[in-house]
């Protein structure tokens, strides 16, 4: 029996919308996970109008369908750039180097699946050659900000026994700080090569891209003794599609258009706490970061 989830920005979910949908689709009682923000109700089956209605409501709320069992996951596997943080780290480094606009355009195309990820990363990193290593700390201190709701998401899942892993096509110089600040249990990313305190313009091979994120899902879940179905994964770019498709719940968060088109679960109105609502957590269940 599918569960219909409705999520909007705090205070923006009209109770009448939830009741009207429930009535139209012959659903069960509406349960409010957070007043005027997140609600859900069961239905016997998805209606024939599912796709059209979901598209029509896209400007008002995130409307998703979820299984009624096994929703609370034992592991979170999260992308970093534009997912757990609000920036793309390589764009911020490039801005410091004077190539910001050029690199940002390449990043956008790569994340939308228009360019090969590995090739695009190699091209962008090459432009950073000669940048002082100290710039990394400056970017972390002055340019990188967490995505709203991330610390609460991790604190809540860990309070309920879940393992949290950060897996990024970005760089360990950033995932180390971000993982520690947000409370992740572990992290994986690419390593920028540095010589004499200067970036060499290269990345230590092999490059962590789409396949490496799938491998992280396989390896970590196997190590923990859990099924891939016990994992919730979140990301925004084309290189996340593999892990999003394999995880029990794969969530496209404020994702690129091509990514959203290939994901059943999409969050565009809520912040990272939406991943808790999708698992059936109420706001009263949230842990303190």
Q: Which two tokens stand for residue 225?
A: 């003794």
- Counts for the chain of helices (H) and strands (E), in that order: 12, 12
Q: Are residues 122 and 1 in the same domain?
A: no
Q: Are residues 82 and 125 in the same domain?
A: yes
Categorize the per-residue pLDDT at 100 as very low, low, confident or very high, splitting at 50, 70 and 90: confident
DSSP label of 265: E
Residue 178 CA, chain-centre distance (Å), reads 14
CATH of the domain at 102: 3.40.50.1000
**Domain extent for 130:** 70-289
Give the gyration radius of the chain's Cα atoms: 20
Nearest to 136 by CA among 189, 180, 172: 172
Residue 118 has pLDDT above 90, yes or no: no
Q: Are residues 160 and 289 in the same domain?
A: yes
Mean pLDDT of 111-116: 84
CATH of the domain at 32: 3.30.70.260
Q: Are residues 105 and 179 in the same domain?
A: yes
Categorize the per-residue pLDDT at 7 as very low, low, confident or very high, splitting at 50, 70 and 90: very high
Q: Which two tokens stand for residue 13?
A: 């979910």
Q: Which of the residues are catalytic?
A: 79, 81
Domain count, the chain: 2
Residue 92 has pLDDT above 90, yes or no: yes
Q: Are residues 164 and 64 in the same domain?
A: no
SS3 176: helix
Q: Are residues 176 and 239 in the same domain?
A: yes
What pLDDT is stored for residue 110 in this prediction?
82
Q: Which tens digits make up the pLDDT trace of 241-276? A: 999 999 999 999 999 888 999 999 999 999 999 999
Categorize the per-residue pLDDT at 112 as very low, low, confident or very high, splitting at 50, 70 and 90: confident
- Do 78 and 133 form a contact (C-beta atoms < 8 A)? no
Q: Are residues 82 and 169 in the same domain?
A: yes
């Amino acid at each position: 029996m599918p569960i219909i989830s409705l999520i909007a920005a705090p205070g923006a979910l009209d109770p009448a919308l939830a009741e009207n949908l429930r009535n139209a689709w012959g659903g069960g009682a509406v349960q409010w996970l957070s007043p005027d923000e997140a609600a859900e109700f069961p239905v016997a089956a998805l209606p024939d109008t599912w796709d059209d209605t979901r598209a029509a409501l896209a400007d008002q709320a995130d409307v998703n369908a979820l299984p009624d069992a096994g929703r609370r996951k034992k592991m979170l596997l999260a992308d970093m750039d534009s997912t757990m943080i609000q920036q793309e780290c390589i764009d911020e480094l490039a801005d410091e180097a004077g190539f910001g606009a050029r690199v940002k355009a390449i990043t956008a195309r790569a994340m939308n699946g228009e360019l090969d990820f590995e090739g695009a990363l190699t091209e962008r990193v090459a432009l950073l050659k000669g940048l002082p290593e100290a710039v990394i700390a400056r970017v972390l201190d002055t340019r990188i900000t967490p995505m709203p709701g991330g610390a609460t998401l991790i604190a809540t899942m860990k309070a309920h026994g879940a393992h949290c892993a950060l897996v990024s096509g970005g760089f360990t110089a950033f995932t180390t700080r971000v993982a520690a600040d947000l409370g992740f249990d572990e992290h994986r990313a690419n390593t920028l090569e540095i010589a004499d305190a200067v970036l060499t313009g290269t990345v230590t091979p092999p490059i962590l891209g789409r396949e490496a994120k799938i491998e992280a899902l396989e390896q970590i879940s196997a190590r923990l003794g859990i099924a891939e179905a016990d994992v919730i994964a979140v990301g925004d770019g084309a290189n996340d599609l593999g892990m999003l498709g394999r995880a029990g719940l794969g969530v496209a968060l404020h994702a690129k258009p091509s990514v959203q088109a290939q994901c059943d679960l999409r969050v565009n109105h809520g912040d990272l706490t939406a991943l808790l609502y999708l698992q059936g957590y109420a706001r009263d269940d949230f842990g303190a970061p």
